[in-house]
Amino acid sequence: MEQVWKEYQEKNKDRFLKEMMELLRIPSVSAKSEHKEDMRRCAEAVRQSILEAGADRAEVMETAGHPVVFGEKIIDPSKPTVLVYGHYDVQPPEPLDLWHSGPFEPVIKEGKVYARGSADDKGQFYMHVKALETLAKTNTLQTNIKFLIEGEEEVGSPNLEKFVTDNKELLKSDVILISDSAMLSMENPSLDVRVRGMSYIEVEVKGPNRDLHSGIYGGAVGNPITILCKMLASCHDENNHITIPGFYDDVVEATEEEREIIARTPYDEDEYKRDLGVKELWGENGFSTNERTGIRPTLEINGICGGYTGEGAKTVLPSKATAKISARLVPNQSSKKITQLLLEHFRKIAPPSATVKAFEHHGGEPYVTPIDSKGYKAAAKAVEKTFGKEPIPVSGGGSIPICSILEKELGIKIVFMGFGLDSDNLHSPNEKFNIENFHKGIETIPYFHKFFAEM
Ligand SMILES: [Zn+2]
């Protein structure tokens, strides 16, 4: 069987790449209404590609926002079904002047395809379309395959939960497979086993009813920036633990086994520091860097605003200051609960000399894939087969809020099989996807289906 896959893929390699690049030409920016038609055009192109790959059916399905593409190939309802999730929308390409070539004019340079969406996520979900084609055209499919490719991931998937709830029967499967993340490197293949949850709030501190002369009033009236900074600085103690009461209450400590796996993950601290241009690292005492970014919750100030920031000096006591604050969460912290704790905390520690308001932005729950699940084992075996090396389970620090929703609604586990690299410039100018990774993904995915069916 493997020989026929190899032959088929070798013969069609260039076409696979060319088709993927065609998809990258469509500016499917979900955040901007001016791209509404492009979104639809992209959904239609995805539908077409799934059909041509050999699916029985593929449809563009409506939501209150951008449409979802659903497709399926059912070989035998009694066989296991794999649901592939991905997204055809992309981040806005700005700032345009930092791109070396047009964000929607894909170019190949040094074995990489440069374009918005190449790695996140068009290039990656397209590997699954071509894996389906390989399996269908060589008559070697052992699983049923379904596709759920949405168009609103980059804007927080506001309509996907309803779509999934409304279409539970249609989406019924045994495992969800997602390629929307990175691996450590081609030499050190890895599979993500965790994504963190998120709480996001904004705090506003109001002092006097107008900006004041800092000489006439300074020293007598509370300065909103000073007050805000004091509150923010008090959120970590001398050990860099988070001081919000109740913040750690629901944290499930990682097991010794998990910590051992993290300790074995290749990591070069000097290189890490050099890359970031910092002399020392910072973080919660008692935990390593990979633990701090993977299995521990964090609190970050994302932005702070207030007072005079123009050229030169202006002696002012500002009337207002604001900060955006996010927390990354781990099991079993609840995004709702932590958001509530954060809001209450800032309202409570507000001094009487200012008015403090706090309100919430978006959130999402953490997610963990057990490494003893059938899906994870099949993915690990597939990666080992094509990379010649057992993948390392990695605790990713980012968040994919839709994961917990998919598991809750469909009652099945998610397996992350990302073939991108951290250096792919996701959401940044000059996003790229290595062509070798693209083909390696197409080579690996059929083995996942084979091993999953056999387990
Ligand atoms: Zn993505």
pLDDT, tens digit (0-9, with 9 covering 90-100), for 60-83: 999 999 999 999 999 999 999 999
Read off the pLDDT of residues 306-328 as tens digits, 9 standing for 90 and up.
999 999 999 999 999 999 999 99
Distance between Cα 125 and ligand 1 center (Å): 10
pLDDT reading at 164 higher than 80: yes
Distance between Cα 400 and ligand 1 center (Å): 8
What band does 2 get if pLDDT is binned at 50, 70 and 90? confident
pLDDT reading at 1 higher than 80: no
Read off the pLDDT of residues 234-264 as tens digits, 9 standing for 90 and up.
999 999 999 999 999 999 999 998 999 999 9
Supply the mean pLDDT for the chain.
Answer: 96
Distance between Cα 364 and ligand 1 center (Å): 15
Distance between Cα 116 and ligand 1 center (Å): 11
Distance between Cα 423 and ligand 1 center (Å): 14
Distance between Cα 180 and ligand 1 center (Å): 5
Q: State the pLDDT at residue 76.
A: 97
Distance between Cα 120 and ligand 1 center (Å): 4
Read off the pLDDT of residues 23-63 as tens digits, 9 standing for 90 and up.
999 999 999 999 999 999 999 999 999 999 999 999 999 99
Distance between Cα 152 and ligand 1 center (Å): 10
pLDDT reading at 448 higher than 80: yes
Distance between Cα 450 and ligand 1 center (Å): 26
Distance between Cα 89 and ligand 1 center (Å): 8
Distance between Cα 383 and ligand 1 center (Å): 21
Distance between Cα 426 and ligand 1 center (Å): 8
Distance between Cα 403 and ligand 1 center (Å): 12
Distance between Cα 153 and ligand 1 center (Å): 7
Read off the pLDDT of residues 427-446 as tens digits, 9 standing for 90 and up.
999 999 999 999 999 999 99
pLDDT reading at 363 higher than 90: no
Question: What pTM does this model have?
Answer: 0.88
Distance between Cα 204 and ligand 1 center (Å): 31
Distance between Cα 117 and ligand 1 center (Å): 8
Distance between Cα 87 and ligand 1 center (Å): 7
pLDDT reading at 397 higher than 90: no
What band does 214 get if pLDDT is binned at 50, 70 and 90? very high
Read off the pLDDT of residues 318-357 as tens digits, 9 standing for 90 and up.
999 999 999 999 999 999 999 999 999 999 999 999 999 9
Q: State the pLDDT at residue 369.
A: 92
- Span 362-385, mean pLDDT? 94
Q: State the pLDDT at residue 362.
A: 82
pLDDT reading at 400 higher than 90: no
Q: State the pLDDT at residue 323.
A: 98
Distance between Cα 29 and ligand 1 center (Å): 12
Distance between Cα 154 and ligand 1 center (Å): 7
Distance between Cα 195 and ligand 1 center (Å): 13
Distance between Cα 414 and ligand 1 center (Å): 15
Question: Which residues lie near ion ligand 1 (Cβ < 5 Å)?
Answer: 120-121, 180
Distance between Cα 320 and ligand 1 center (Å): 36
Distance between Cα 249 and ligand 1 center (Å): 31
Distance between Cα 418 and ligand 1 center (Å): 10
What band does 399 get if pLDDT is binned at 50, 70 and 90? confident
What band does 291 get if pLDDT is binned at 50, 70 and 90? very high
Q: State the pLDDT at residue 274.
A: 95
pLDDT reading at 135 higher than 90: yes
Distance between Cα 124 and ligand 1 center (Å): 9
Distance between Cα 425 and ligand 1 center (Å): 12
Distance between Cα 421 and ligand 1 center (Å): 13
- Span 172-198, mean pLDDT? 95
Q: State the pLDDT at residue 201.
A: 97
Distance between Cα 179 and ligand 1 center (Å): 9
- Span 85-100, mean pLDDT? 96
pLDDT reading at 405 higher than 80: yes
What band does 156 get if pLDDT is binned at 50, 70 and 90? confident
For the chain, the three-class secondary structure string (H helix, E strand, C coil) is: CHHHHHHHHHHHHHHHHHHHHHHHCCCCECCCHHHHHHHHHHHHHHHHHHHHCCCCEEEEECCCCCCEEEEEECCCCCCCEEEEEEECCECCCCCHHHCCCCCCCCEEECCEEECCCCCCCHHHHHHHHHHHHHHHHCCCCCCEEEEEEECCHHHCCCCHHHHHHHCHHHHCCCEEEECCCEECCCCCCEEEEEECEEEEEEEEEECCCCCEECCCCECCECCHHHHHHHHHHCCECCCCCECCCCCCCCCCCCCHHHHHHHHHCCCCHHHHHHHHCCCCCCCCCCCCHHHHHHCCCEEEEEEEEECCCCCCCCCEECCEEEEEEEEEECCCCCHHHHHHHHHHHHHHHCCCCCEEEEEEEEEECCEECCCCCHHHHHHHHHHHHHHCCCCEEEECCCCCCHHHHHHHHHCCCEEECCCEEHHHCCCCCCCEEEHHHHHHHHHHHHHHHHHHHHC
